[in-house]
Structure formats: C-alpha cells, structure tokens
C-alpha cells in the first residue's frame, strides 16, 4: 500500500519565501503542495476549501495574522493540523499561537530536514516544538495553579498514554506498543485532553514536561 501524500497549504506574505518553500517541498515525493496564501484571510478560505492535512503558517502578516487565522481554521475544521513557521520566537507570539490551536512551532532558520521532520510529525497529529520556544510554554503551564491537581486526575493508563504522546508516538504506534485497539487509544487521548482542560496534544505534552514525565529538550544556543 502506497502511503498517502501529505497535503499542505503554505502561508507567507513574502513572495520569495513562499516560492522558495513551494519549490523545496515539491521536490519531496511525500509532499503535495495543494495551495498557497499570502495572508491570514486567504489562508482561512483556502484551508476550508482545500482541507489540507497540514497548514504551514507564518505568524506576522498584514491584516489577519497567523494566530487569528489558526484560531479560525481550528474552530471550523479541528482536524486540520497547523504548523507555525516563523522567524519570531518571542513569548507574545509563541504562547498565543499554541493557545489558538497550532500543534507545532518551528523557526525559519531551521534546516530543510528539520522542517520536513516537523511537517511529518504534525501530519500525524504529533506535537512538534522548536527547543527554543518550549521555555515560554513551560512558564505558562507553571503559572497555572491547578496543574498538579489536573495531572493527578489521570488514571495510570492515561499517564502511560500521555508519556508516549510526549515521546512523539502517534495513536497507531501507541496502540501497537500497548497492545490495544486504535479506538481505545483515541478514547484515552480524548479523556486526557478533557481532564487537563487543553485543546491539543501539544498542550498536553507541555503538561507532561511540567510534571517530569519527560524532560524538556535543552534550548538551542
């Protein structure tokens, strides 16, 4: 069986960046660039029209920015996975983007292989955060007074699933590792998100880092 291509929508307001990304990604047979947009409004319209697996989203754009576009896309089509691709790693961009529903955040100075890896992870619904932005998210989680209480509400089985999620495993891989059905893992993940009061796997993974289920990656110099 041939693996399905990753259908991707690319959003950036700089024409040179946009054309460069299209040329680079089209060279990879596992990627299918289904559309491009130069602003947030067009990104929302095209995402709902084309329904890509991944939206590669810039943050700072004139008019509607990437954060608002992310929020609108996730509200209308929760199954579309959004990867922020930005030159900005400040807390006022990172935290709102994750809260808006993005499950990945990678910087524009990343290598081609790092970008491809991030796209593949996000396409599988896995969290993918550049090490230099994780500190901001951790600070947000640490500021929540009920973090420990929420974690304690998870069952031992749910904690096992959360740890595997945090290690980057997909639901299918978790099902195989735990010797259970895919539907069972999906139910566990849904309950974990509900109990932790988060809307994405990325935020759940941050909780796992916060309580020490997995160590946060070291920040890049």
Instruction: Give per-10-residue mean pLDDT for the chain (221 aa).
Output: 81 94 95 96 97 96 93 92 84 80 89 93 83 65 59 89 82 90 91 83 76 58 35
Residues 99, 206 within the same domain: no
pLDDT of 2: 45
Return the CATH number at 82: 3.40.50.2300
46 in Cβ contact with 9 (< 8 Å): yes
pLDDT of 14: 93
Q: Cβ atoms within 10 A of the Cβ of 8, count?
A: 26
The verdict on residue 218 lying in a domain is no
Query: CA 14, CA 16: separation in Å to the nearest integer?
Result: 6
**Cβ-based neighbours of 202, under 8 Å, separated by 6 or more:** 98, 102, 103, 104, 127, 128, 129
Residues 49, 17 within the same domain: yes
The verdict on residue 86 lying in a domain is yes
Residues 119, 201 within the same domain: no
The verdict on residue 24 lying in a domain is yes
pLDDT of 157: 94
Number of domains in the chain: 2
The verdict on residue 96 lying in a domain is yes
Q: Cβ atoms within 10 A of the Cβ of 96, count?
A: 17
Query: CA 187, CA 181: separation in Å to the nearest integer?
Result: 10
Query: CA 123, CA 143: separation in Å to the nearest integer?
Result: 30
The verdict on residue 11 lying in a domain is yes
User: For residue 58, what are its two tokens?
Assistant: 């810039």
57: containing domain:
6-130
For 170-183, b/e burial (b = at least 16 CB within 10 A) is: bbebbbeebeeeee
The verdict on residue 219 lying in a domain is no
**Cβ-based neighbours of 216, under 8 Å, separated by 6 or more:** 134, 135, 138, 209
Residues 20, 91 within the same domain: yes
The verdict on residue 125 lying in a domain is yes
- Domain boundary pick from 130, 163, 182: 130
């Amino acid at each position: 069986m041939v693996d399905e291509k990753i259908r991707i929508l690319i959003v950036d307001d700089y024409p040179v960046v946009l054309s460069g990304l299209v040329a680079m990604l089209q060279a990879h047979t596992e990627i299918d660039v289904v559309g491009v947009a130069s602003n947030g409004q067009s990104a929302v319209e095209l995402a709902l029209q084309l329904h890509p697996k991944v939206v590669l989203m810039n943050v700072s754009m004139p008019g509607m920015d990437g954060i608002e576009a992310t929020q609108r896309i996730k509200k209308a089509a929760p199954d579309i996975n959004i990867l922020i691709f930005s030159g900005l790693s400040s807390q006022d961009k990172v935290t709102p983007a994750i809260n808006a529903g993005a499950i990945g955040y990678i910087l524009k100075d990343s290598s081609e292989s790092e970008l491809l890896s991030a796209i593949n992870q996000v396409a599988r619904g896995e969290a993918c955060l550049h090490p230099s932005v994780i500190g901001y998210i951790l600070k947000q989680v640490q500021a929540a007074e009920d973090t420990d209480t929420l974690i304690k509400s998870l069952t031992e089985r749910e904690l096992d699933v959360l740890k595997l999620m945090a290690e980057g495993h997909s639901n299918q891989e978790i099902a195989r590792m735990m010797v259970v059905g895919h539907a069972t893992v999906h139910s566990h993940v849904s309950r974990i998100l509900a109990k932790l009061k988060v809307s994405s796997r990325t935020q759940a993974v941050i909780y796992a880092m916060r309580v020490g289920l997995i160590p946060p990656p070291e920040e890049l110099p």
